[in-house]
Structure 1
Amino acid sequence: MKYYDCHTYLDMQIEDVVAIRNVQISEDSALGKYQSIGIHPWNVQADFETELAILEEKITSDAIIAVGECGLDRLHFETFELQKKVFQQQITFANKYQKPLIVHCVKAFSECLQLLSLAKVPVIIHGVNNKWDSIAAFVDRGYFLSFGAAILKVNSISRKILPQIPIHQLLLETDDTDISIQSIYQTAASLLTIDSEAFNLQIESNFHKIFQI
């Protein structure tokens, strides 16, 4: 049985785990069989045009199967207007090269939705740990919602809203933690009261709808 980790920062080659490793544009992207690459909203700088040019060149690599992590983060308010420009351009790249988007969205849901209306590729909202009112519109648009280690915490919002997500729009991730994807699978299946084998097969099906690997 395989496990699918749609977003990780760690280079862990583990048998039976298919993981998409997020790399930065400054990194040597040789590590990891499958990778995503993007400009994180925390890393947006005034000279973003130079970084976008580097990013587009790297996106063309066959090893890059998704654009991101990219998006908007209102907590970094000092660069918010620049974030929108950089995010929009990354959506353009994703459309041009037909690679899915892995999206970071913090307290900028309406702005993300507005810009994502331009996307013509599958969209994954990663690290979901938000109240239903904040993410309902993403679900209605058919975007995929990715849950991570937060569901292991008994009182997390993530854990409470997981049962409201249509199972055909669900993905799982480890992000920047060293928690095993298997433990996240086990917890998610338990919370949804679904047989673990059937649950694994559903996540596998969702994954392959997005990533042509």
Structure 2
Amino acid sequence: MNAATIPAERTALLVCDLQNDFLHPDGAYGRAGQTAPEILELPDRVKPLADLLRSRGGWVISTNFTLVPGRSGEPMISPHLKTLRPFLAKGDFLPGAWGHRTVDTLQPVDVEVEKIAYSAFYMSRLEWVLAKCGVERLLVCGIVTNGGVASTVRDAHVRDFDTILLEDGCAAFTPQVHEVSVAALRPVCRVTTIATMLAEVGES
């Protein structure tokens, strides 16, 4: 199917990692002072598109970073992440817990998918969910542009999804890193704005 003819009902807004443990002041990153204003602004900016797409029969699917609890509930943390974020502890990003959930601003999402690595496709049920929902086009937003977003976009591309990066629907810990990451993704997917997609979905 040509991308231009993909209807709203076969489109999903893919929300990467906009979770309480990342964004809320009482979440894991908030307690550690690890945030950026550009990140905190994302839920309110993305919400109008989520609402419109859902009203047109489309999907809002969130991918939620997960720390799988192991023995005694201690989280299984990859070595690189343990070095990068030493503050992560028992109970953070715990499946089913408040911190693990998508932020209230974007609730209710249609489906939440646990993810354990940068890419939301890696060893997750995301591809199965998208097939069950009949999704052919992904509008990708969330955090961080250079990590989970970039990896997910590239994996969506090789799976032949019509993939669109919402440039102002993503953020990194610095604007410079965000801009470099967006530039690197332009050969891989279409890059556009939330306002443009609001207009296109509204006309579909």
Q: TM-score, normalised by structure 1?
A: 0.36
Choose between structure 1 and 2 for higher RCO, CA contacts under 8 A separated by at least 6 residues.
2
Q: TM-score, normalised by structure 2?
A: 0.37
